[in-house]
Amino acid sequence: MAKITLQGNPCNTNGELPAVGSKAPDLHLVDGKLNDVRLADFAGKKVLMNIVPSLDTPTCAISTKKFNEHAAGSADMVMLVISADLPFAQGRFCSAEGIDNVIPLSLMRSRDFARDYGVLITDGPLAGITARAVVVVGADGKVKYSQLVPEIADEPDYKAALAAMK
């Protein structure tokens, strides 16, 4: 269990992020066409997971836009934004904001991803959705970087996450 805060108020996650150097847990998420997506779908590529509570919040929107700017033009990597939002809402957000380099994925069918990555908030007003985190998985399937953002309202460390993608 990790301790985080929401506007200074303490809350907890169900566990810890996967350790750097460990094999990344699989994921089972849903894309905008309601297809199941697994980590194996990105085999051989570096994967940045921008894990957010909801795209309908300012900080989540900002982080998605910033990662979108850095995702263009690299065939060997993929950037995901993962939230509890339904794929339809994610699609509307991405269309309205011109997000076309980041792949939005939803937890709509299962919270297993959130549990497996240790980011499921277990108490407080956001219980049942994800904490803010970034995980970078190398082309070899191993975790290269992870950050659980201690205050949900704060942005992640973009510089460190993007450095891990190199």
- Cα–Cα distance, 79 to 13 (Å, whole number): 23
Q: Please give the Cα distance from 8 to 29 (Å, whole number).
A: 30
Residue 60 annotated among the catalytic residues of the structure: yes
| Active-site residue (options: 60, 61, 82, 129) | 60
Cα–Cα nearest to 132, from 68, 58, 25, 77? 58
By CB neighbour count within 10 A (0-12 exposed, 13-18 middle, 19+ buried), where does 153 fall?
A: middle
**Which H or E run contains 161?**
helix 158-164
* Catalytic residue positions, numbered: 60
